[in-house]
Chain A
Amino acid sequence: MNLAGRPARVSVWALGLLPLLALLWDFALDGLGPEPVERITHHTGKWALRMLLLCLAVTPLRRGLGWRTLQPHRRTLGLLAFTYASLHFATYLVFDLDFRFGELAEDVQKRPYITVGFATLALLALLAVTSTRGWMRRLGRRWTKLHRGVYLAAVGAPVHFAWSVKADLAEPLVYASVAGVLLALRLRPLTHRIGRSDANYATLPRSTKTGIGNPSGTKGETTEVW
């Protein structure tokens, strides 16, 4: 079975949208509890964060364990993170702000956790828009640099979460720790040590590097980053 092909990609999308389906199911059955808006906000926010962390786990898993078939799913997971983050924001805009855009501007300026959350969402939007092959071609090597921005999102999202809670930091700290580990795995010395199984990756035929890597066709240097 081809775990990197189109059916597999569609399956990842389908699986990734299950949490949304669960939310809609609860909504239909009046099962969202006493405060549905808070429930939707937390649910979409946490799934955005989980998808982002799964997305960031792809490259270390490939490098460390040689799971190459995961690679094409990285983009899907990134887009799922953006999807949930957008729903998270939409919930806030519709039910908390009632479309008062003036207050949105005020919140973004005045409230640091919203500033961070909004900036993270904007960044994910930029990465989602430029995640297509067309944009990879157009941006060439700059695409790689731009998409390193996902590291910033991996910092921003847990900070936004932690900053929003009243006193109990336990849950946000779990996410922050996972993000921290995933980011630490990118540090150069660690990358070199665990990167052995990846040594030949850059020289593999292009067809196996589905979707990502070396878009500008430059040789010798891997454009494989996150």
Chain B
Amino acid sequence: MLIRKASDIRSGEITEPELYLRRRDFIRSAALGAGSAAVSAPILTACFADEQAGAETPPRARAVRALGDVRPAPPEYRLDERPTSYEDATTYNNFYELGTDKGDPARNAHKLRTEPWSVVVEGEVGKPGRIALEDLIAAHALEERVYRMRCVEAWSMVIPWVGIPLGDVLRRVEPTSKARFVAFETLLDPEQLPGQRRAILDWPYQEGLRLDEAMHPLSILAVGMYGRTLPGQNGAPLRLVVPWKYGFKGIKSIVRIRLQSRQPDTSWNQSAPREYGFYANVNPEVDHPRWSQARERRIGEWRKRPSLPFNGYADQVAGLYRGMDLRKSF
């Protein structure tokens, strides 16, 4: 296993999508002496790798398809690090509604029906209502964002998301002057999300942001990753991505967005208030009570690397927390 530090990887070496999408297939076929065929596989093949990989590939949502008209990530939102392989990013997931084992969400994702899908926008907004997902997206240009994703469990990935800035969506529904926080809610349906049959958390999953955090240009609502629509296990069809916070803030399969004046309850905070705060900014200095947050393991690597304050986005977001004690507001 070849292990390299990020600093050793030049941007020219970053794997092209058609290769990282099929990494394991590539390794497998290379082992069988058919490597050259895999290398020259066109992008089209890569997009249908699910069907081609055969029985060894875990079942995935059939609904996943290529997204058109995606604006490439502007340089400030394009992390110059090698993206995690598509296979790893879609088979190692925390989405307890689809099972608590990391492999469960990919196995159970087919139960989640993402069409039709709509989102209720309510609370302190000038234009409340139920918006069909297509309409929510159609009003904005889809953008790619290559972000670090740091889980509170001390592992991390680099994911090329496709989405729309959350701030743009919120501005369209016209927050009132009383709106100070945004609350999000996941679909509640134990048929589609069988993990909800067990009371591991107080379902539906809830998350929230301060309004200024939500309006920050780094915060997006993702509808895709790796140039395709989101697979169920990654929070299809609509999820939150806030790259300077721990992954659990990135609520999946969102059906409700509520603007409000008081700080919303959030699921992990309610489950274990000593362990998970409302802010949950990535902070190597503040340990989880049961484990250190100083280092993280990038998926695909064996050794850990140092974690970065605000997950490496301190320049952009540290100002949001000026004057706050981040040990108390963890």
Given A111-B291, A113-B290; A34-B102 close (CB under 8 Å): yes
Q: Which residues of A contact B272 (CB under 8 A)?
A: 167
Verify A111–B155 contact, CB threshold 8 A. Answer: no
Kindly specify which of B46-54, B64-72, B292-300 makes contact with the partner chain: B292-300
Verify B200–A168 contact, CB threshold 8 A. Answer: yes
A163 interface residue (CB < 8 Å to B) = yes
Contact among B88, B96, B200, B303 with A34 in the assembled complex (CB-CB below 8 Å)? B88
Verify A37–B92 contact, CB threshold 8 A. Answer: no
Chain B 138-180 per-residue mask, 1 if CB under 8 angstroms from chain A, else 0: 0000000000000001010000000000000000000000000
- Chain B's closest residue to A36 (CB) is B302
Verify A33–B92 contact, CB threshold 8 A. Answer: yes
Chain A 12-44 per-residue mask, 1 if CB under 8 angstroms from chain B, else 0: 000000000000000000100111111000000
Task: Compute how far the CA of A96 lies from the CA of B296 in the bound complex, rounded to whole angstroms.
Answer: 9
B233 interface residue (CB < 8 Å to A) = no
- Chain A's closest residue to B93 (CB) is A34
Verify A103–B92 contact, CB threshold 8 A. Answer: no
Verify A30–B24 contact, CB threshold 8 A. Answer: yes
Q: Which residues of B contact A98 (CB under 8 A)?
A: 303-304
Given A30-B24, A96-B304, A111-B290; A168-B297 close (CB under 8 Å): no
- Chain B's closest residue to A96 (CB) is B304
B45 interface residue (CB < 8 Å to A) = no
Q: Which residues of B contact A34 (CB under 8 A)?
A: 87-88, 91-92, 102, 299-300
Verify B155–A35 contact, CB threshold 8 A. Answer: yes
- Chain B's closest residue to A39 (CB) is B102
Verify B102–A35 contact, CB threshold 8 A. Answer: yes
Q: Which residues of B contact A112 (CB under 8 A)?
A: 290
Q: What's the least CB distance linking B236 to chain A, in Å?
A: 19
Secondary structure of the B side of the interface? Answer: loop
Given A163-B290, A166-B153; A33-B96 close (CB under 8 Å): no
Given A166-B153, A168-B96; A37-B290 close (CB under 8 Å): no
Chain A 159-200 per-residue mask, 1 if CB under 8 angstroms from chain B, else 0: 000011011101000000000000000000000000000000
Verify B96–A37 contact, CB threshold 8 A. Answer: no
Verify B91–A33 contact, CB threshold 8 A. Answer: yes
A95 interface residue (CB < 8 Å to B) = yes
Contact among A33, A103, A164, A168 with B100 in the assembled complex (CB-CB below 8 Å)? A168
Verify A164–B302 contact, CB threshold 8 A. Answer: no
B329 interface residue (CB < 8 Å to A) = no
Task: Compute how far the CA of A95 lies from the CA of B201 in the bound complex, rounded to whole angstroms.
Answer: 31
Task: Compute how far the CA of A37 lies from the CA of B92 in the bound complex, rounded to whole angstroms.
Answer: 13
For window 100-132 of A, CB contacts with B under 8 Å fall at 103, 107, 111-113
Which of the listed residues B92, B271, B291 has the most CB atoms from chain A within 10 Å of its own CB?
A: B291
Verify A167–B102 contact, CB threshold 8 A. Answer: no
Task: Compute how far the CA of A160 lies from the CA of B91 in the bound complex, rounded to whole angstroms.
Answer: 27
- Chain B's closest residue to A95 (CB) is B302
Q: What's the least CB distance linking A170 to chain B, in Å?
A: 8
B128 interface residue (CB < 8 Å to A) = no
B103 interface residue (CB < 8 Å to A) = yes
B318 interface residue (CB < 8 Å to A) = no
Q: What's the least CB distance linking B197 to chain A, in Å?
A: 12
Q: What's the least CB distance linking A51 to chain B, in Å?
A: 22
Contact among A30, A35, A107 with B299 in the assembled complex (CB-CB below 8 Å)? A35
- Chain A's closest residue to B276 (CB) is A166
Chain B 21-39 per-residue mask, 1 if CB under 8 angstroms from chain A, else 0: 0001001000000000000
Q: Which residues of A contact B103 (CB under 8 A)?
A: 33
Task: Compute how far the CA of A92 lies from the CA of B39 in the bound complex, rounded to whole angstroms.
Answer: 36
Q: What's the least CB distance linking B241 to chain A, in Å?
A: 19
Task: Compute how far the CA of A76 lies from the CA of B92 in the bound complex, rounded to whole angstroms.
Answer: 36
Chain B 218-250 per-residue mask, 1 if CB under 8 angstroms from chain A, else 0: 000000000000000000000000000000000
Chain B 74-113 per-residue mask, 1 if CB under 8 angstroms from chain A, else 0: 0000000000000110011000100010110000000000
Q: What's the least CB distance linking B152 to chain A, in Å?
A: 8
- Chain B's closest residue to A97 (CB) is B304
Verify A35–B297 contact, CB threshold 8 A. Answer: yes
Q: Which residues of B contact A33 (CB under 8 A)?
A: 91-92, 102-103
Q: What's the least CB distance linking A37 to chain B, in Å?
A: 6
Chain A 27-67 per-residue mask, 1 if CB under 8 angstroms from chain B, else 0: 00010011111100000000000000000000000000000
Residues of A in contact with B (beta carbons under 8 Å apart): 30, 33-38, 95-96, 98, 103, 107, 111-113, 163-164, 166-168, 170
Residues of B in contact with A (beta carbons under 8 Å apart): 24, 27, 87-88, 91-92, 96, 100, 102-103, 153, 155, 198, 200-201, 271-272, 290-292, 297, 299-300, 302-304
Interface contacts beyond A35-B92, A103-B292, A113-B290: sample of 8 additional A-B pairs, CB < 8 Å, sorted by A = A34-B91, A35-B155, A38-B102, A95-B302, A111-B290, A167-B100, A168-B100, A168-B200
A-B contact pairs, 6 of them (CB 8 A): A33-B91, A34-B102, A34-B300, A35-B297, A95-B297, A163-B290
Top 4 closest A-B pairs, CB basis? A34-B92, A34-B88, A168-B100, A167-B200
